């Protein structure tokens, strides 16, 4: 048996949570458009949106 692991190396920050969301047709089209324009996955676009809103909230009301 090969002592070396086969496959992708483990991530330093694994994504261990999955979520399911419901979107309107318009929201879905906007997400698809952003994904295509930026060459990013839809999940990456959503993560970026979360980070931007979090940073905006932190600027207006610093979080503990």
Residue 41 in contact with residue 35, Cβ under 8 Å? yes
Tokens representing 35 are 């994904």
Q: Where in the sequence is the domain holding 43, given as residue range(s)? A: 25-60
Q: Is residue 46 situated within a structural domain? A: yes
Per-residue pLDDT tens for 16-45? 899 999 999 999 999 999 999 999 999 999
Kindly state whether residue 31 falls inside one of the protein's structural domains. yes
**Which H, E and C letters describe 2-63, residue by residue?**
CCCCCCCCCCCCCCCCCCCCCCCHHHHHHHHHHHHHHCCCHHHHHHHHHHHHHHHHHHHCCC
Q: Which two tokens stand for residue 64?
A: 């503990």
Number of structural domains, the chain? 1
Q: Give domain status of residue 32, yes or no.
A: yes
Q: Is residue 42 part of a domain?
A: yes
Q: Which residue has the higher pLDDT, 11 or 23?
A: 23
* Residue 53 lies inside a defined structural domain of this protein: yes
Q: Kindly state the tokens that stand for 59.
A: 């600027």
pLDDT for residue 63 is more than 60: no
In a domain, 18, yes or no: no
Q: Read off the pTM.
A: 0.75
Residue 2 lies in a domain: no
Residue 7 has pLDDT above 90, yes or no: no
């Amino acid at each position: 048996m090969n002592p070396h692991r086969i496959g992708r190396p483990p991530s330093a920050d694994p994504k261990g949570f999955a979520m399911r969301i419901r979107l309107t047709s318009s929201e879905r089209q906007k997400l698809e458009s952003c994904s295509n324009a930026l060459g990013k996955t839809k999940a990456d676009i959503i993560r970026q949106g979360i980070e931007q809103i979090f940073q905006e909230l932190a600027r207006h009301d610093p979080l503990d």
